[in-house]
Amino acid sequence: MSRLTSLLSKLVLSVLLVGLVLTVSPIGAASAAGLSDETPPNNERLEQAWARLQSAYARQGERLEKADELVARVQALIEKANARGWDTSAVQTALDAFVAALPAAQAAHEPGAAIIASHAGFDENGKVTDRAAAVETVRSLAQVLKSVRTAMNGAGEALFQALRALREAHPRPQQPDPNA
């Protein structure tokens, strides 16, 4: 019993990380970087936004690459829980929605690689060479991250919540206190 709940806890944490990466993107980075027309040029903030967006894109890509492994682990958990007679219908439904959203999310993620490769307005070190082009590049990469979040449509968070509910419905048995 404790092995299954331990696996469930690990899966909940994994799904949380996937959900956070896929649902939280630095969309505000473009506006927070001082890119509005009312502010004077601030290349340092623009360069920082570019670096943050590239990091977020890389993390998002890593999570998308690991999604198949996560799906397999959750499916194995569902099978074990079903063998114990637990109701896993909510987790299965959430997992099905997650799986259905993945192809669109992966397709939405792909254009970011070309944006980063071209790094229009930035040199190889991430320094602004053309402010107008750099602003557009930052906005384009932020839009890619937002598109992935939109494609997932909260499926990662729903899976996390379903796993959490299953864990709460079947808590770990209390271990006797060895000091008592």
Consecutive 10-residue averages of pLDDT for the chain (180 residues): 54 49 46 49 90 97 96 97 95 97 97 96 95 96 97 96 94 75
> Tell me, what's the pLDDT at 143?
98
pTM of the complete model: 0.73
> Tell me, what's the pLDDT at 172?
79
> Tell me, what's the pLDDT at 171?
85
> Tell me, what's the pLDDT at 175?
74
3-class secondary structure per residue, the chain = CHHHHHHHHHHHHHHHHHHHHHHCCCCCHHHHCCCCCCCCCCHHHHHHHHHHHHHHHHHHHHHHHCHHHHHHHHHHHHHHHHHCCCCCHHHHHHHHHHHHHHHHHHHHHCHHHHHHHHCCCECCCCCECCHHHHHHHHHHHHHHHHHHHHHHCCHHHHHHHHHHHHHHHCCCCCCCCCCC
How far is 67 from 62, CA to CA, in rounded Å? 9
